[in-house]
Structure 1
Amino acid sequence: MSSAAFERITIVSVSGLPDATGAVRSLAWCQQQMPGARALLCSPLAPADLPASIEWRAIQAMNYHEYSWFMLFALWRVVETEFALIVQDDGWVLSTDNWHDDYLQYDYVGAPIHLAHVDAPDGARWVRQFAWCEDMGRPGYTVTPVLNGGFSLRSQRLMRALVEHPDIRVSIPPPDLISDDPLRMYWHNDVLLEDVQLSGVLRSALEAKGLRFAPLDIAARFAIEHAGAVHHGMDALSIFGHHSKLRKLASIQPPTIRYTISHAEAGELYGELDLAEMFRRRGYQVEFAD
């Protein structure tokens, strides 16, 4: 752990919802573990009990997709330090004992998620559910795992990249499926999400400008979203942070995780009950939806 490194970081949570209580809880928990780091909440309304150590910046109410546009194009306007650590009510620091200063060598670090773009001899495709792990190292295959944005470290260069390099354009393809009753559009590669754009769709263009994305082994020890083949043999107690919409930080006194699914449903997800046990070993109370 390096407090000098933390002074280069602003812990940021962006919420487009009227109630940002959960985001404040995560910010306070992370700042408590990262002495020297600034903390910033961006939300439409300032919570009444906002700690004095957390700065607040007013933003308009946003839906899920507008959040992505904010992260792609406007995050740099609210961060004054060299780096931003993005946290949410479902993503926060697990242990700064697992912090490594070499994370600051990269412009973007986030947990490898189940989705990756695979260039193969028979064409390019998006591969889900960690099935892309089978293609790693195969001759003629290039695998680009998407790195999670909900708990991620980003440099100023990364935050400003799409503004300073307007030739790099966000591109939204037609939906893969349109369902009826109600009419709804689906993109199987989640291309509307900002982390898929940055670390999947636009990654090669950003790397051509000199930006550095953490390699798979560094990304995996930085954080975890959900367990998969890429995590075989890894000690979950060695991970710095996590993010998943399934796990919410319900309290920090005592630290409590509240799952949005039942214990039985968690048991059907690869490695999830092992992660729940990791949280217990870290001193968290773990509550399931049932």
Structure 2
Amino acid sequence: MARRLPLPQVTLCAVSSVNVKATVRALEASLAQIDVGAALLLTDSRLEPDHPGIRVIPIAPITSARAYSEFVLTQLVDHVETSHCLVIQWDGHVLDATRWEPDFLAHDYIGASWPQYSDGHDVGNGGFSLRSRRLMLLCRDAAFRRDHPEDVAIGRTNRQWLEGQGMQLAPRALADRFAAERAGDVRASFGYHGVWLMPQAIGMEAFWRVYRDLDDRGTIRHDFSSILEQMRRGRGGLKRTSRLIWDQIISRKQG
């Protein structure tokens, strides 16, 4: 087994009340590549991960995306003792630890860039992001305007104020080497975020296994068309695309 990248100054964190099994898989995939100071799953689900390095922290249910933002901005820092926190979600994780750059830790916030912005405030995505503990503490400051989604609150709404407090957000080029999402190259980054990237990042068969274990398949709705097209071209395409469509019909009725 290859030696894992030592990152003792980083706490790996995931916060979720849905798709928890897939979230555990993302933590395990990351831990296969990096050796961190701590690995935490903050959830209301009762489970014991097989991986001995994952510690479960019981929390109240996260009932919405807005509630997730509020928790990450105000409560997650209470569980982080290291200088930095690597936040991941079920649809993103560390891909290639050899692409780690020490300069990542020289910044207080780094996540995949947002190609839709051209004003320089374009870093970045929170679903796979590295943030310093001192930045996380500032997110609880009375002057910080908390909003949803939490990554926009950090990367855009409060960026100027955060920089005024001495925080350094990564430049776009570095962010694109850190992670791929709407921009960047999933084949040339340390990690990624985005369910539509999963077939490319982990392979179609592995993605299908993850998908079948999801307890909220409606979470792929925003990127359904992209996933459907990739699935159509893969093995068992007709059967699997039919299942995807049916699942979305059911999730909309339940929603």
What TM-score results when the alignment is normalised by the length of structure 1? 0.67
Task: Give me the identity figure in percent.
Answer: 31
Secondary structure of 1:153's counterpart equals: strand
Aligned to 1:57: 57
Aligned to 1:88: 89
Q: Name the one with the larger helix percent.
A: 2
Aligned to 2:180: 224
Q: CA deviation at 1:35?
A: 2.3
Paired with 2:4 and 2:145, the residues of 1 have a C-alpha distance of: 36
Secondary structure of 1:238's counterpart equals: coil
Secondary structure of 1:97's counterpart equals: helix
1:156-171 to structure 2, matched below 5 A, reads 156-163=133-140, 165-170=141-146
Paired with 2:235 and 2:28, the residues of 1 have a C-alpha distance of: 19
Structure 1 runs not aligned, ≥5 long:
117-131, 133-141, 173-191, 277-284
The aligned amino acid for 1:157 is R
Is the 1:44–1:60 contact (alpha carbons within 8 Å) kept by the matching residues of 2?
Answer: yes
Paired with 2:166 and 2:128, the residues of 1 have a C-alpha distance of: 23
Structure-2 change in CA distance of 1:146 and 1:103 (3 Å): closer
Deviations along 1:71-114, one digit per CA (max 9) or x if unpaired, are 11111001111111111110101100111111000000100124
Is the 1:111–1:219 contact (alpha carbons within 8 Å) kept by the matching residues of 2?
Answer: yes
Aligned to 2:194: 244
Deviations along 1:137-193, one digit per CA (max 9) or x if unpaired, are xxxxx4311400000001101111122x322233x6xxxxxxxxxxxxxxxxxxx20
Deviations along 1:249-275, one digit per CA (max 9) or x if unpaired, are 9xx8x98224758xx943999xxx7xx
Is the 1:110–1:223 contact (alpha carbons within 8 Å) kept by the matching residues of 2?
Answer: yes
Q: CA deviation at 1:14?
A: 0.4
Q: CA deviation at 1:64?
A: 1.1
Is the 2:112–2:125 contact (alpha carbons within 8 Å) kept by the matching residues of 1?
Answer: yes
Paired with 2:181 and 2:228, the residues of 1 have a C-alpha distance of: 16
Aligned to 2:163: 207
Secondary structure of 1:256's counterpart equals: helix
Aligned to 1:135: none
Paired with 1:99 and 1:56, the residues of 2 have a C-alpha distance of: 26
Deviations along 1:197-219, one digit per CA (max 9) or x if unpaired, are 11011100000000110001000
2:149 paired with 1:193: yes
Structure number with greater Rg is 1
Aligned to 1:30: 30
Paired with 1:267 and 1:26, the residues of 2 have a C-alpha distance of: 19
Is the 1:39–1:55 contact (alpha carbons within 8 Å) kept by the matching residues of 2?
Answer: yes
- Give the paired residue count: 221
Is the 1:21–1:47 contact (alpha carbons within 8 Å) kept by the matching residues of 2?
Answer: no
Structure 2 runs not aligned, ≥5 long:
212-219, 242-255
Q: CA deviation at 1:236?
A: 4.3
Task: Choose from 148, 154, 157 the match for 2:125.
Answer: 148
Q: CA deviation at 1:46?
A: 3.1
Is the 1:16–1:59 contact (alpha carbons within 8 Å) kept by the matching residues of 2?
Answer: no
Across the aligned residues of Structure 1 and Structure 2, the Cα RMSD in angstroms comes to 3.2
Q: Name the one with the larger strand percent.
A: 1
